[in-house]
Structure 1
Amino acid sequence: MSAHAKTSYVISNKIARNSKPFSDGEFIKECFLDSSEPMCPEKKEAFENVPLSRHTVMRRIGDIARNLELQLQHRAIDFDFFSLALDQSCDVCDTAQLLNFVRGITTDFKIMEELAAMQSMKGTTTGNDCSRKARALNHRQFVALLEENENEHHDIGYHTAVRWLSLGKMLKSVWDQRGEIQDFCVKKGNGIPQLSDAD
């Protein structure tokens, strides 16, 4: 990759991390050109060749996002255990955003937590709105399966209102019910091979 392309990626990354508009790349390039003339006129041509149009910045940010997603997927392969958490937050336009976090632990006890996805929410954003579709029918069917198997647990928590410290209890509950969860997922056509792994 050329120095011009690397510079374009570095600046695009800064634009994204600071929530600036894509068109700021053109402004930054203009600043480079204007300041290079008195400071280092021999470098002006190099600055002219740095691609920073709004379309280029948009593509660069998309490339960075895809790369980060691939890195997260590769790191997640090494997880022995993981948990998902949902949180709702409002952006600068007061639009509710549903944030999906993943936290995982590897065999050598390295813990990683990352923002996995973000989705705009229209209308109300109560906990029920966030989990209604996943919860209704599936939850009733899963509870019926637990009762049918006379399991000591009568339910499994979907989310927790307390801090991450409660994750141990939540993970233990999932671990204790892994057989029932696997059976339920298989019936739904979404088996989870890790739940049937004896190791």
Structure 2
Amino acid sequence: MATMGQREKLLEGAKRCLSERGYAHTTARDIVAASDGANLGSIGYHYGSTQGLLNAAMLSAIEEWGDAVGAALATGGGDEYGDPLVSYWRRTLSTLETHRATWLASIEAMIQSEHSPELRGQIADGMQQGRSGLAAMLTGREEEGLDDGTVRSVGSVAMALMSGVMIQWLIDPARAPSAEQVAAGIRALAVIG
């Protein structure tokens, strides 16, 4: 296995700090301490600043999380009740167990992006990729073949629902909706129009 250089050590250490301390509470010294032998001066050399490193770590963590969530959701099909919508929401909610810190850090990064146009642009690009991926998965079509209207409607609504439900679970899991309740709510909303 190849040895990690300073850049990779810093990135991994920053991701560890994001998970353990959060974006706003991570310092350059924290990152160095978690970076298995990296030095403080190498942050500026490789990333320009601590914020640059934290932004890169956040985007890397979100990408890894997105891949894992996508894989969990793509395992598709119905569950023991034969309801694909309930199954989808069960798989979505299960990602909280394995990726809770990344869900929290991504929310924190969105808040931090108010002060960093670069981070905001990177998150916006990631959200667009997420909308497109969700729309493809939910429609059963190839991402490249989706029209903008489908991405902006199906993908955006799916992302809004996912984010809203996950925030409820992060803040108040005892009163957050179950997969069955989310599916029932979606179906109830669909008949209102």
TM-score after normalising by structure 2: 0.36
Greater helix share, structure number: 2
Larger radius of gyration: 1
TM-score after normalising by structure 1: 0.36
Higher relative contact order (CA 8 A, sep 6+): 2
Greater strand share, structure number: 1
